[in-house]
């Protein structure tokens, strides 16, 4: 596997979607959860999507319940929540696992391309790191993603060019997306 275009994922209705369908676009691939403290990231994500989608930008949203059971609903419930509360209009896919033996191969690939490099400095980030380590202990060396709202930036050739942990300011994410466009 050399690019994200080599992967097929399931949409929220469980239909196969080849990521090759997104060739030539800049992608932001995000694992999300509706009950997470980072759920408000949906607002700047939607703003970014509205502002840049006509320039060849897509956000691909993959709900995941592996972090303190913060995405307990089914795909329809999650979609309804995101649409009604945040007006999220970008593609949302089937709920997946991002860690462990059942991790979606796409996320194992993304994490191998851009491994975790820390949540950053500060007390809040240190606390999240400790909590994430406890949560992810069961996944051992297959704890690819440390928490909800980890974002991977993909260039127009399907290569992973950046990883943003949920603690990264969304302005920084937006600037990187704009530069990739």
Q: What is the CATH number of the domain that holds 47?
A: 3.40.30.10
| Claim: this prediction has a pTM higher than 0.95 | no
15: how many CB neighbours lie within 10 A of its CB? 10
In the numeric block, the tokens 């297959």 are attached to 142
Query: What does the CA dihedral 20, 44, 93, 7 come to, rounded to 10 degrees?
Result: 30
Domain that holds residue 152: 4-180
Query: What pLDDT shows up at residue 1?
Result: 63
Residue whose C-alpha is closest to residue 151's, from 66, 58, 70: 58
At what angle are helices 42-52 and 170-180 packed, to 10 degrees? 20
82 a catalytic residue: no
* Structural domain total, the chain: 1
Contact 95, 74 (CB under 8 A): yes
Query: What pLDDT shows up at residue 23?
Result: 97
Query: What pLDDT shows up at residue 27?
Result: 98
CA–CA gap between residue 40 and residue 119 (Å, rounded): 18
Query: What pLDDT shows up at residue 80?
Result: 77
**Residue 69: both structure tokens together:** 């059971």
Candidate list 4, 36, 98, 162, residue with the active-site label: 36
Task: Say how many residues make up the chain.
Answer: 181
pLDDT by residue for the chain (181 residues), tens only, comes to: 689 999 999 999 999 999 999 999 999 999 998 877 787 889 999 999 999 999 999 999 999 999 877 777 887 777 777 686 777 888 899 999 999 999 999 999 999 999 988 888 877 778 778 877 877 888 888 888 998 999 999 999 999 999 999 999 999 999 999 999 9
Helix, strand, coil % in the chain, rounded to nearest 5: 40, 20, 40
Contact 88, 45 (CB under 8 A): yes
């Amino acid at each position: 596997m050399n690019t994200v275009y080599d992967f097929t994922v399931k949409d929220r209705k469980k239909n196969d979607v080849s990521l090759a369908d997104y060739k030539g676009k800049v992608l932001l691939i995000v694992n999300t959860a509706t009950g997470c403290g980072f759920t408000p990231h949906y607002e700047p994500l939607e703003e970014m999507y509205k502002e840049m989608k006509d320039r060849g930008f897509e956000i691909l949203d993959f709900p995941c319940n592996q972090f303190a059971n913060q995405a307990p609903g089914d795909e329809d419930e999650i979609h309804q929540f995101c649409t009604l509360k945040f007006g999220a209009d970008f593609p949302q896919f089937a709920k997946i696992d991002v860690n462990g033996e059942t991790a979606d191969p796409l996320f194992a690939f993304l994490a191998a391309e851009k491994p975790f490099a820390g949540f950053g400095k500060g007390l809040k980030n240190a606390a999240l790191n400790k909590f994430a380590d406890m949560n992810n202990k069961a996944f051992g060396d297959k704890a690819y993603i440390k928490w909800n709202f980890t974002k991977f930036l993909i260039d127009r050739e399907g290569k992973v060019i950046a990883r943003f942990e949920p603690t990264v300011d969304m302005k920084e994410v937006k600037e990187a997306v704009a530069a990739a466009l």
